[in-house]
Amino acid sequence: EQTIDKIAAGEVIERPASIVKELVENAIDAGANAVTVEIKDGGISLIRITDNGSGIEAKQVPVAFWRHATSKIRKADDLLDVTSLGFRGEALSSIAAVCQVELITKTADSLTGVRYLIEGGKEKSLEEIGAPDGTTFLVRNIFYNTPARKKFLKTAQTEAGYISDMVERIALSHPEVSFKFIANNQTKLHTSGNHQLKDIIYHIYGRDIAANLIEISAGTDSVRINGFIGKPVISRGNRNYENYFVNGRYIRSNIIAKAIEDAYHTFMMKHKYPFTVLNFTIDGKLLDVNVHPAKLELRFAENEEMYRIVYEAVRNALTHREM
Ligand code: ADP
Ligand code: MG
């Protein structure tokens, strides 16, 4: 079983940023409205993630580290449901297989919390402990028992950059959650959780961008589009500033990108690309669930309809913009 976990870990856990992604998504799934991510050495020696979510019941703690023992979605059709980011039940087992993990957790209706240690898939201890409501994960020494994989990590600075990008994306797709990101004792990002996407854009991208946004709130019953597109004055020479999220997940989609860019290019030169932060809420029936959800590329059941809805939403927003 430990070997299988190690192999499964290869698919889920590529680098420290993968751990941050899985643990922060779990915190959001647990209903947290405040999440703190703290790292040392680009997350290679330490990742600490604290949330104020539901916590895990004492007797469920070891179970949470079993592979496929998810408390969440089971059916393939539900994979892209809007309500939950987790679905495979293999994040915790994969992380524990290749790291030293300490978990402190407490639910609101239990008097004491639990402290659990698991390293390389082996349980070390489980004890009662006083703790605030919610969950803290400390993940130390990624790949300490798989040196061949550790060699593929980049420098601490580069790994920290990947984590920072990851936290920023999650913050942009969850304006209702307050995120704090601390790297080597320095606070790099702190969002308020006040639902104001524009504030988060300001924190991440600065004033010039935040001051030149056009709001988009459009779509149909099955495809809602909310967010911002940059005015042509802040267009870019590359696609790095195109962010879009479908049902809370950061994704790439040629259809969405093409629709946005085509609409944008009716106002703007061809070699320029827009700044966007767009959150799509799409009915699961319109999504192609055959695409592996861990991958970023998403396909749609009705490509042409998706293209048209997005194109028109962006076109309308740009037509009615205040310049
Ligand atoms: P999944 O998210 O796919 O269910 P994971 O391996 O990521 O699988 O997590 C296993 C289980 O552990 C979750 O289903 C959830 O019940 C519990 N869990 C993990 N992290 C948290 C957290 N931060 N707060 C509350 N419960 C959690
Ligand atoms: Mg999960």
DSSP string, 17-66: HHHHHHHHHHHHHTT-SEEEEEEEGGGTSEEEEEE-S----GGGHHHHTS
Residues in the chain, overall count? 323
pLDDT in tens, 23-42: 999 999 999 999 999 999 99
Q: Once rounded to an integer, what is the mean pLDDT over residues 306-313?
A: 95
* Model confidence band, residue 226 (pLDDT cutoffs 50, 70, 90): very high
Cα 30 to ligand 1 centre (Å): 8
* pLDDT surpasses 50 at 216: yes
Take atom 16 of ligand 1 and give the residue whose Cα is closest. 71
Domains of the chain, with CATH numbers? 2-190 (3.30.565.10), 210-319 (3.30.230.10)
Q: Do the bridges between strand 178-183 and strand 276-282 make them parallel or antiparallel, or are there none, so unpaired?
A: unpaired
Question: Is residue 150 within 8 Å of 144, Cβ to Cβ?
Answer: yes
Measure the CA–CA gap between 64 and 70, rounded to whole angstroms: 7
Which structure tokens are listed for 2?
Answer: 């430990």
Give residue 82's pLDDT.
40
* Model confidence band, residue 76 (pLDDT cutoffs 50, 70, 90): very low
**3-state secondary structure (DSSP) of residue 40:** strand
Which structure tokens are listed for 183?
Answer: 């790297």
Take atom 3 of ligand 1 and give the residue whose Cα is closest. 89
Least confident residue range of 130-144, 162-176, 228-242, 278-292: 278-292
Point out the ligand 1 atom lying closest to the alpha carbon of residue 71: 14
Measure the CA–CA gap between 284 and 82, rounded to whole angstroms: 8
* Model confidence band, residue 323 (pLDDT cutoffs 50, 70, 90): low
In the DSSP assignment, the letter for residue 157 is H
Cα 38 to ligand 1 centre (Å): 19
Cα 64 to ligand 1 centre (Å): 6
Which structure tokens are listed for 216?
Answer: 């988009």
- Give me the residues near ligand 2 (ion), CB cutoff below 5 Å: 26, 86, 91
Write a three-state SS string for 225-267: EEEEEECHHHCECCHHHEEEEECCEECECHHHHHHHHHHHHCC
Q: Name the closest ligand to CA 53.
A: 1
Give residue 72's pLDDT.
64
Least confident residue range of 177-181, 240-244, 268-272: 268-272
Cα 182 to ligand 2 centre (Å): 22
Give residue 19's pLDDT.
96
Q: Name the closest ligand to CA 71.
A: 1
Rounded to whole angstroms, the maximal C-alpha distance in the chain is 63
Take atom 17 of ligand 1 and give the residue whose Cα is closest. 64
Closest CA to 85 of 252, 247, 297: 247
Q: Once rounded to an integer, what is the mean pLDDT over residues 45-51?
A: 98
Residues in the ligand 1 pocket, defined by CB under 6 Å: 22, 26-27, 30, 51, 53-56, 64, 70-72, 86-92, 135
* pLDDT surpasses 70 at 239: yes
pLDDT, averaged across the chain: 89
What is the share, in percent, of the chain residues with pLDDT greater than 90?
Answer: 70
What is the share, in percent, of the chain residues with pLDDT greater than 70?
Answer: 87
Least confident residue range of 77-86, 132-141, 242-251: 77-86
Give pTM, 2 decimals: 0.89
Measure the CA–CA gap between 45 and 104, rounded to whole angstroms: 18
* pLDDT surpasses 60 at 17: yes
Question: Is residue 79 within 8 Å of 107, Cβ to Cβ?
Answer: no
Supply φ then ψ for residue 279, to 5 degrees: -100, 115
Q: Once rounded to an integer, what is the mean pLDDT over residues 239-243?
A: 90
Measure the CA–CA gap between 7 and 155, rounded to whole angstroms: 24
Determine the distance from the C-alpha atom of residue 63 to the mean position of all C-alpha atoms in its chain, rounded to a whole number.
24
* pLDDT surpasses 50 at 246: yes
Take atom 10 of ligand 1 and give the residue whose Cα is closest. 64
Point out the ligand 1 atom lying closest to the alpha carbon of residue 93: 6
In the DSSP assignment, the letter for residue 209 is H
Take atom 18 of ligand 1 and give the residue whose Cα is closest. 26
Point out the ligand 1 atom lying closest to the alpha carbon of residue 134: 24
Helices (H) then strands (E): counts for the chain: 10, 13
Take atom 7 of ligand 1 and give the residue whose Cα is closest. 91
**3-state secondary structure (DSSP) of residue 174:** coil
In sequence order, what are the residues at sequence separation of 6 or more whose Cβ sits closer than 8 angstroms to the Cβ of residue 119?
96, 99, 100, 101
Cα 242 to ligand 1 centre (Å): 30
Point out the ligand 1 atom lying closest to the alpha carbon of residue 94: 6
Closest CA to 152 of 12, 15, 17, 295: 15
Measure the CA–CA gap between 311 and 309, rounded to whole angstroms: 6
Q: Do the bridges between strand 178-183 and strand 134-140 make them parallel or antiparallel, or are there none, so unpaired?
A: unpaired
